[in-house]
Amino acid sequence: MKKKVVVVGNGMVGYKFCEKLIAKGGSEQFDIIVFGEEPRPAYDRVHLSAYFGEKTIEELTMAPLEWYSENQIQLHLSDPVTNIDREKKIINTHQGISLNYDYLILATGSAPFVPPIPGVEKDGVFVYRTIEDLDMMKSHAAKSKIGAVIGGGLLGLEAAKALLDLGITDTHVIEFAPRLMPRQIDQAGSDILKSKLSTLGIKIHCNKNTQEIAGGDTLEKMVFADGEILKVDMLVISAGIKPRDELAKIAGLEVGSRGGILVNNKLQTSDESIFAIGECALHEHMIYGLVAPGYEMADIVASEIVGNATKEFTGFDMSTKLKLIGVDVASFGNAFAEEPDCQTIIYENKTKGVYKRVNISNDNKYLLGGILVGDAEQYNMLLQTVNNKLPIPADPEDLILGSRGGESGGESGVMSLPDEALICSCEAITKGQICHEVIENGNDTVDTLKKSTKACTGCGGCTPMVKDLIQGILKSQGKVVRNVLCEHFEYTRQELLSLVKIKALKTYDDVLEDLGHGDGCETCKPAVASILASLWNENVLEKGRLTAQDSNDRFLANIQRGGTYSVVPRIPGGEITPEKLIVIGEVAQKYGLYTKITGGQRIDMFGAHVGDLPAIWEQLIEAGFESGQAYGKSLRTVKSCVGTTWCRFGVQDAVSFAIEVENRYKGLRSPHKLKSAVSGCIRECAEAQSKDFGIIATEKGWNLYVCGNGGSKPRHAELLATDVSSEMCLKLIDRFLMFYIKTAEPLQRTAPWLDKMEGGLAYLKSVVIDDVLGLNAQFEADMDALVDTYKCEWKEAVETPEIRKRFVHFVNAPEEKDPTVKFEPLREQIKAEDWNAVVK
């Protein structure tokens, strides 16, 4: 008969133990029985907060129930073990099971520590550990406005983020100690973190001792020792963890005076057939509150009981890197070492919110440890430098300052590590193992490596390093990983643009013939069409370019639900005469169009049949309108406020300048759409800072902001230049736009373009202001050429019979409209028929 292994606790570490035991062939020797107190199989607690955001329970689950049955593991959920009879080697459970064991594994984890503050039992007070906790928080948050967290450690800040995610914008963190994350970072690091978090709207109170949680059945306020009072609707307590050793105590196992089940280097408790692993285990006075050490313990015990023990547990590196509410925080090695035991180098940039500290051995040879706040890009390399005792540069400050631009240090860095270097510490995967997988088994993406090695599946902190490693290996094999357009072109957009220019190619077919292969597709066609338009500015519908355009460009209008189009004439700066307004009204009436004001201060007319488009435009052009290019990847609108012409605060004439800017760049084709705005003073009514380029009036001229956007990931634009004249402002925009058009990826807006740029804003400034590339004169000349060749596409289309005749639905019955187009009434106007309700 097989021996029995009973596992108490189905958390992250208990699960990992099962996985390791199976991998080591344990199911042949043992029956494995697992008892879990929670109602669901083990899930990824580290990413618990993602449950409020992008992840579902299924995605967080470590392994589905089928996994347990496939591996003959008996899993009892919602059934905690309540007693252990060590004499008879029998356990009893809450649901009345009693079972004997040969080995008993305690993986009971920990519970949040709740300090004995009067009022902690009130409604609206939560802890943050399980899915159930989160569900309860979710429902309470719906009726809460102000939230607080007691505890400014790692978990407390994580909980504060959760409150923000739950829509509680007024969130406070109360920390008893004088600084945040006292276990990971020092005072200076904490100050930087504090100011960064404050800008995100989290109010941090250090040195604050909570005396009472007051209110009726539900909490209403917190009272502090210094007499201050904070009104709150919900409170999360995250004041540390308390190992769950209650079962061990009942069984008479030795436990630490401050909690935790005492274990030796084999993770054995005071009873040699009982082991404790994970957050419940107390090893050498240490409780390890992270997954990586827990996984290591699981591995050691699994090896031990299958009779294949190779190593012992001798402590674990507690280095960590986290992203707390979007702020990087990391500490590694001996973070708190101080002079005279070492030399410390500190870099601090308060405006950027960056703090870095490294501790160097006195002989200047080794890195001992350090702290990073605000920018932890170098974390993985620094940790490797500590762990592998790698030599450090002669100027140790290069470790944290690095060299921006030039050869990327990260990549050559990973490749220089020894094969034994531990890359994924959760799963104990070395560089050598990953190289083997990539080279021998061809697993050269993070996803395939996750499957084959489990690297990156624990805390995920090693993912960037694994990516660098894959790139490095492929590069060293001579495989170049490049961002080529698609299967038809082996070039990046930037390369293609230069080639098309040098070879003076003017149509898609010529470009494909000369530089590509195959027949093209919906990715390269619009990308090349955009390049051609940016370079030559010839009508997009002529010379066979028609069918290389995306549908919107092909019909010079935006396709909408039901297959009709919307029509948007240009209204520069949002300024329009009553006469023109009347024409829009007349056109809309005549063709039965739905009208709406757009977000860009113009008027959109929806529901136009493709066959009506030329006549509609004929009438609009007659009245002096031009195409608004709402259909193109091109300049959309330049919004404006009235500025000095009417507004009592205005300091410059924002409308006139907006009109000038819009008329200059109208029709400009670019990798993605471009939006702009001009505000007449710092009150910023035109929202210029959310635009690709935005202009705000100052007493002396204009401030120019670039690379902002609205959309799904809003971005504030960054300040490029201050107090410039109108003339200079246009020059800067010329250069900025041409640089973007020439170097961006297809469909990359200006914000991600800047993000990807080596050297970031500083580099952009050096190009368009200091002219380090010597290209500014060229950029300006190129832009002038485009401005000079501007023509209204719609004017050309209605006047050219060849183009005009393409605007029909049935080429064999040009007068007929698409009979499947249907509208429904909507408040005195129309809307497209709901396409989910349509069966044609």
Partner 1 sequence: MIHLYELFHAMMKPMKNMNNTETMTSWILACRVEDIPENGGACVLLDGEQIAIYNFKKRGEWYATQNLCPHKQQMALSRGMIGSMGEDPKVACPFHKKTFSLKSGACLSGDDYEIKTYQVKVEGNEVFVAF
Ligand X SMILES: Cc1cc2nc3c(=O)[nH]c(=O)nc-3n(C[C@H](O)[C@H](O)[C@H](O)COP(=O)(O)OP(=O)(O)OC[C@H]3O[C@@H](n4cnc5c(N)ncnc54)[C@H](O)[C@@H]3O)c2cc1C
Q: Does 647 bind ligand SF4 (CB under 6 A)?
A: yes
> Which of 807-836 are b and which e, b meaning 16 or more Cβ less than 10 Å from the residue's Cβ?
bbbeeeeeeeeeeebebeeeeeebbbeeee
> Is the distance from CB of 479 to CB of 508 less than 8 angstroms?
no
Q: Does 680 bind ligand SF4 (CB under 6 A)?
A: yes
Q: Name the closest residue to ligand SF4 (Cβ).
A: 680
Query: With CB under 6 A as the contact rule, which of the stretches 101-109, 332-340, 386-394, 699-707 interacts with ligand X?
Result: 101-109
Q: Does 800 bind partner 1 (CB under 8 A)?
A: no
Q: Does 259 bind partner 1 (CB under 8 A)?
A: no
**Distance in angstroms (rounded) separating the CA atoms of residues 210 and 609:** 67
Q: Output the smallest distance, CB 109 to ligand X, in A.
A: 2
Q: Please identify, using beta-carbon distances, which residue of 414 and 528 lies nearer to partner 1.
A: 528
**Distance in angstroms (rounded) separating the CA atoms of residues 191 and 193:** 5
Query: Own/partner pairs for 223-230, CB < 8 Å, 24+ apart?
Result: 224/174, 230/146, 230/148, 230/172, 230/174
The single residue among 5, 6, 8, 465 that binds ligand X, judged by CB under 6 A, is 8
650 binds, among partner 1, ligand SF4, ligand X, none (CB under 5 to 8 A by kind): ligand SF4
The single residue among 650, 667, 694, 708 that binds ligand SF4, judged by CB under 6 A, is 650
Length of the chain in residues, anyone? 840
> Is the distance from CB of 231 to CB of 146 less than 8 angstroms?
yes
Phi, psi torsion values for 84, nearest 5 degrees = -130, 125
643 binds, among ligand X, ligand SF4, partner 1, none (CB under 5 to 8 A by kind): ligand SF4
Q: Output the smallest distance, CB 630 to partner 1, in A.
A: 15
The single residue among 41, 109, 333, 569 that binds ligand X, judged by CB under 6 A, is 109
- The torsion defined by the Cα of 607, 610, 614 and 617, in degrees rounded to 10, comes to 20
Which of 825, 818, 823 has its CA nearest to residue 833? Answer: 823
Q: Does 813 bind partner 1 (CB under 8 A)?
A: yes
Kindly state the tokens that stand for 654. Answer: 């924002």
Q: Please identify, using beta-carbon distances, which residue of 105 and 641 lies nearer to ligand SF4.
A: 641
Q: Does 709 bind ligand SF4 (CB under 6 A)?
A: no
- Enumerate the H helices of 87-148 as residue ranges: 131-141
Q: Please identify, using beta-carbon distances, which residue of 94 and 475 lies nearer to ligand X.
A: 94
Q: Does 143 bind ligand SF4 (CB under 6 A)?
A: no
Q: Output the smallest distance, CB 680 to ligand SF4, in A.
A: 3
Q: What is the DSSP string of 812-829?
A: TSTT---TT--EEEETTE
Residue numbers 506-525 binding partner 1 by CB under 8 A: 509, 512, 518-522, 524-525
**Distance in angstroms (rounded) separating the CA atoms of residues 410 and 404:** 11
Q: Does 194 bind partner 1 (CB under 8 A)?
A: no
Q: Output the smallest distance, CB 593 to ligand SF4, in A.
A: 17
677 binds, among ligand X, ligand SF4, partner 1, none (CB under 5 to 8 A by kind): none
Residue numbers 485-504 binding partner 1 by CB under 8 A: 487-488
Helix H or strand E encompassing 381: helix 379-387
Close Cβ partners of 473 (under 8 Å, ≥ 6 residues apart): 415, 435, 438, 439, 444
Residue numbers 280-339 binding ligand X by CB under 6 A: 289-292, 294, 322
Residue numbers 422-481 binding ligand X by CB under 6 A: 459
Q: Please identify, using beta-carbon distances, which residue of 31 and 780 lies nearer to ligand X.
A: 31
Q: Output the smallest distance, CB 600 to partner 1, in A.
A: 23
**Distance in angstroms (rounded) separating the CA atoms of residues 40 and 301:** 24
Q: Please identify, using beta-carbon distances, which residue of 679 and 748 lies nearer to ligand SF4.
A: 679
**Distance in angstroms (rounded) separating the CA atoms of residues 185 and 154:** 11
Q: Please identify, using beta-carbon distances, which residue of 369 and 680 lies nearer to ligand SF4.
A: 680
> Which of 519-542 are b and which e, b meaning 16 or more Cβ less than 10 Å from the residue's Cβ?
ebeeebbbbbbbbbbbbbbebbbe
The single residue among 333, 643, 671, 708 that binds ligand SF4, judged by CB under 6 A, is 643
The single residue among 20, 129, 196, 675 that binds ligand X, judged by CB under 6 A, is 129
Q: Does 9 bind ligand SF4 (CB under 6 A)?
A: no
What 8-state DSSP symbol labels residue 319?
A: -
Q: Output the smallest distance, CB 368 to ligand X, in A.
A: 22
Beta bridge partners of 105: 7, 275
806 binds, among partner 1, ligand SF4, ligand X, none (CB under 5 to 8 A by kind): partner 1
**Distance in angstroms (rounded) separating the CA atoms of residues 468 and 474:** 10
> Is the distance from CB of 507 to CB of 544 less than 8 angstroms?
yes
247 binds, among partner 1, ligand SF4, ligand X, none (CB under 5 to 8 A by kind): ligand X
139-140-142 Cα angle (round to 5): 70
Q: Does 128 bind ligand X (CB under 6 A)?
A: yes
- In this structure, how many other beta carbons lie within 10 angstroms of the beta carbon of residue 589? 10
Number of residues forming the site for partner 1 (CB under 8 A): 44
The single residue among 641, 655, 659, 767 that binds ligand SF4, judged by CB under 6 A, is 641
Q: CA 362 → CA 340, 365, 398, distances in Å?
A: 8, 8, 17
Q: Does 814 bind partner 1 (CB under 8 A)?
A: yes
35 binds, among ligand SF4, ligand X, partner 1, none (CB under 5 to 8 A by kind): ligand X
Close Cβ partners of 531 (under 8 Å, ≥ 6 residues apart): 493, 496, 497, 500, 511
Residue type at 716?
A: H
Helix H or strand E encompassing 582: helix 578-591
Q: Output the smallest distance, CB 502 to partner 1, in A.
A: 24
| First and final C-alpha spacing in the chain | 66
Q: Does 811 bind partner 1 (CB under 8 A)?
A: yes
Give residues in contact with ligand X (CB under 6 A).
8-14, 35-38, 45-46, 48-49, 80-81, 107-110, 128-129, 155, 158, 244, 247, 278-279, 289-292, 294, 322, 459
Give residues in contact with ligand SF4 (CB under 6 A).
641-643, 647, 649-650, 654, 679-681, 683-685
Give residues in contact with partner 1 (CB under 8 A).
487-488, 509, 512, 518-522, 524-526, 544, 546-552, 554-555, 559, 561-563, 806, 808-816, 818, 820-821, 835-836, 838-840
